[in-house]
Amino acid sequence: MPREKQTRNAEKTKRLILNAAEILFAEKGFAGTSVREISERAGVSGPLILFHFRSKEGVYEAVKAAIIGRYASANSPAPRPNAPAGEFIRDFVGSMFAFYRDNPTMLLLAKWGHLEGEADPWPGEDEWHHMYEEYFVSAQARGDIRGDLTPMNIFSFICGSIHIWWEYHEHFVRHAENEGLRARADDRFLNDLLGFALRGLSPSPGDLEYSGTGRKC
Amino acid sequence: MPREKQTRNAEKTKRLILNAAEILFAEKGFAGTSVREISERAGVSGPLILFHFRSKEGVYEAVKAAIIGRYASANSPAPRPNAPAGEFIRDFVGSMFAFYRDNPTMLLLAKWGHLEGEADPWPGEDEWHHMYEEYFVSAQARGDIRGDLTPMNIFSFICGSIHIWWEYHEHFVRHAENEGLRARADDRFLNDLLGFALRGLSPSPGDLEYSGTGRKC
DNA sequence: GTCTATATCCAGATAGAC
DNA sequence: GTCTATCTGGATATAGAC
C-alpha cells in the first residue's frame, strides 16, 4: 500500500533541480554557483543532485539542453526565403526580440558561457545564423535590400542591438525620462529598431555590389 | 652601501601586479581569478599583493581605475555639438570601434562586471552616454538626422553592433568565407556599420516627430 | 532515491621572520 | 617590502546508512 510520504519521484526531483539550477547559473554563472545553493533552492540535498546528474557539469549541460528544447519549439516554422524584405525583417526582429524578453535566462547563460570559455556554439546555433544569412543573400540578389553590405554583418547589427537592449535593460529603463516613456520603452525600442533597420537596408541606385562570393558551399 | 639585489621597488611591483591582474580578471572574471594566479603571473608572492592592495577587491578596483585612466586620455577631445551628422557619426563610430579593438580588456571587464552584479556604472560612463545623447537631440532639432527615433536608442544600435562585433570577433572572423575576407573583416564591418547607420538615420519627409520631451533637465 | 557525515582540496587572508 | 608557513572557510565529491 503506497501511502507513505511520496518523496521518491525521480522525474519531479530532476525538474526541481533543473529549474533551480537554470536560475542560479543564469544569475551567477557556472563557477559562481555551488551545488549547495542549487540544493537549497530546489529543496533537496546536495548529494542527490550529483546522484541524478553525475557532476555539477552534468547539471549545467542538462540545463542548456532544456533551454534549447524550449527554443526549438518556440521557433519551429522557418521563415519563407522569398518573403518581401519588409515582412521578413519585421518577423525576424520581432520574434528575436520577443524570445529574449520571454527567456531571459538564455541570453544570460549564453553570455556567461562565452565569458567562461565555452568554445563551441550551442547546438543549432550555426544553422540558425546560416538560415538568416541565406535570406539576406537572396534578398540582395533580387534587389530587395541594398547589395553592398556583408550579409553576416547585417545579422550582427540586428542581433547586437537586441542583445544590448536586454543585457542593459534595467539601465535603459531607469534612464528613461519619465514614467510614460519607461512603460513603453520596450515597444519604442522595437519600433525604432525596425524603422532604423528598414531604412538602413533600403536599396539606393548608387550602391556598389557586395564583393564577397556569396555562400561558401 | 645599497648594492644588494634591488628587489624592493614598490612602484614597479604594483605595476607588475596590475598588469597581470588586468589580463586575468578580463579572462576569468573577479571570482574566477585567484590571488595565487596573479602572484604567479606577476612573479611575486601572494601575500605581497595583499600587502600592496589590502584585498583582492582592492586589486580589482585598482585595475578598473587604471583602465579608466587610459580611456580618458584616449578620448580627451569632446565632439563638437554642431558638427554635421555625417562627420560626427564617422568620428563616433570610428573612435569607439578603435578603442575596443585596442583595449580588449575593457569590454571583457565590463561584461564580467555586469554579469557578476556590479550595479553602478563605471566612473564617467553616464556623462559619456549623456554627451552622445545630447548630440543626437540637437542633430534631430536641426533636421540633420531623422527625428522619429529615441536618441538613446540610436546610441544603443551603434554600441550594440560594436559590442557584438568584438565580443564574438573570433567567431565572425572564423566564419568569413575566405582568407581575403578574413583579413579585411574589421574594415568591412566598420564600413558596413557606417553605411547602415548613415542611411538608417537619414531624414525623410514622412517621419513623425520624436514624442519624447528631449532631455530631463 | 535520498539522506548525514566526512574526505579532500583550494581559496583569501594573516603572522612573523628577514 | 618581501618572503614562508599557516589559519580558516567553503567548495565538490564520496561513503555508507536508511
Report d(CA B10, CA B18) in Å as an integer. Answer: 12
Average pLDDT on A136-163 reads: 96
Tell me the CATH number at B169: 1.10.357.10
Closest CA to B143 of B89, B86, B203: B203
CB A190 within 8 A of CB A93: yes
Q: Which tens digits make up the pLDDT trace of B102-144?
A: 999 999 999 999 999 988 888 888 888 899 999 999 999 999 9
* Residue of A206 and B23 predicted with greater confidence: B23
Closest CA to A97 of B153, B43, B86, B145: B153
Report d(CA B203, CA B199) in Å as an integer. Answer: 9
Average pLDDT on B146-170 reads: 97
The residue behind cell 521557433 is A75
Grade residue A212 by pLDDT with cuts at 50, 70 and 90. Answer: low
* Residue of B144 and A214 predicted with greater confidence: B144
DSSP E strands, chain A: none
Domain shared by B51 and B119, yes or no: no
Domain shared by A178 and A197, yes or no: yes
Report d(CA A113, CA A22) in Å as an integer. Answer: 13
Min Cα–Cα distance to chain A from B9, Å: 35
- At A7 the pLDDT is 59
Domain shared by A22 and A98, yes or no: no
Average pLDDT on B177-201 reads: 95
Residue that is last in its domain, among A22, A39, A74:
A74
Identify all chain A residues contacting B152, using CB atoms and an 8 Å cutoff.
172, 175-176
Residue that is last in its domain, among A74, A89, A105:
A74
- Residue B217 pLDDT exceeds 50: no
Whether B191 is covered by a domain: the verdict is yes
Average pLDDT on A49-75 reads: 89
Best of B34, B118, B129, B192 to mutate (most A CBs within 10 Å, chain A):
B192
Domain shared by A104 and A193, yes or no: yes
Grade residue A124 by pLDDT with cuts at 50, 70 and 90. Answer: confident
> Phi and psi (nearest 5°) for A149?
-105, 145
Residue of chain B minimizing CA distance to A130? B175
Domain shared by A152 and A85, yes or no: yes
Report d(CA B211, CA B200) in Å as an integer. Answer: 19
Q: Nearest Cβ partner of A115 from B111, B181, B202?
A: B111
Q: Which of A90-99, A174-183, B74-83 has the lowest mean pLDDT?
A: B74-83
Rg (CA), chain B: 22
Q: Which of B74-83, B174-183, B189-198 has the lowest mean pLDDT?
A: B74-83
CB B190 within 8 A of CB B93: yes
**What 8-state DSSP symbol labels residue A210?**
P
Q: Which structural domain range is residue A119 located in?
A: 79-204
Whether A133 is covered by a domain: the verdict is yes
| Dihedral sign, Cα of residue A188, residue A190, residue A191, residue A195 | positive
**In three state form, how does the secondary structure of chain B look?**
CCCCCCCCCHHHHHHHHHHHHHHHHHHHCCCCCCHHHHHHHHCCCHHHHHHHHCCHHHHHHHHHHHHHHHHHHHCCCCCCCCCCHHHHHHHHHHHHHHHHHHCHHHHHHHHHHHHCCCCCCCCCHHHHHHHHHHHHHHHHHCCCCCCCCCHHHHHHHHHHHHHHHHHCHHHHHHHCCCHHHHHCHHHHHHHHHHHHHHHHHCCCCCCCCCCCCCCCC
The number of angstroms, rounded, from the C-alpha of B67 to the middle of its chain's C-alpha atoms is 10
- At A216 the pLDDT is 35
Min Cα–Cα distance to chain B from A155, Å: 10
The number of C-beta contacts closer than 8 angstroms across A and B is: 136
Its pTM stands at: 0.90
| Dihedral sign, Cα of residue B121, residue B122, residue B123, residue B125 | negative
Task: Identify the burial level of B43 via C-beta atoms within 10 angstroms of its C-beta, where 0-12 means exposed, 13-18 middle and 19 or more buried.
Answer: exposed
**How many domains does one find in chain A?**
2
The cell numbers describing A25, all together, are: 547559473
The answer to whether some atom of strand C lies closer than 7 Å to the beta carbon of A31 is no
Whether B4 is covered by a domain: the verdict is no
Residue that is last in its domain, among B26, B54, B74:
B74
Q: What angle do CA B35, B170, A69 make, to 5 degrees?
A: 90
Whether B210 is covered by a domain: the verdict is no
Whether B62 is covered by a domain: the verdict is yes
Amino acid identity, residue A84?
A: P
- At A9 the pLDDT is 81
- Compute the mean pLDDT over every residue in chain B, rounded to the nearest whole number: 89
What protein residues sit with their CB closer than 7 Å to strand D? A 33-37, 46-47, 50, 55-57; B 7-10, 13, 44-48, 51-52
Residue of chain B minimizing CA distance to A175? B152
Which region holds residue B194: left if phi is over 0, alpha if psi is between -120 and 50, else beta? alpha
- Residue A210 pLDDT exceeds 90: no
Tell me the CATH number at B43: 1.10.10.60
- Which helix (DSSP H) or strand (DSSP E) does residue A8 occupy? none
Whether A123 is covered by a domain: the verdict is yes
Q: Which nucleotide is nearest to B32 (CA to C1')?
A: C11
The cell numbers describing B3, all together, are: 648594492
> Phi and psi (nearest 5°) for B134?
-50, -45
Q: Which of A33-47, B4-18, B93-107 has the lowest mean pLDDT?
A: B4-18
Min Cα–Cα distance to chain B from A161, Å: 5
Report d(CA B39, CA B6) in Å as an integer. Answer: 19
Whether A215 is covered by a domain: the verdict is no
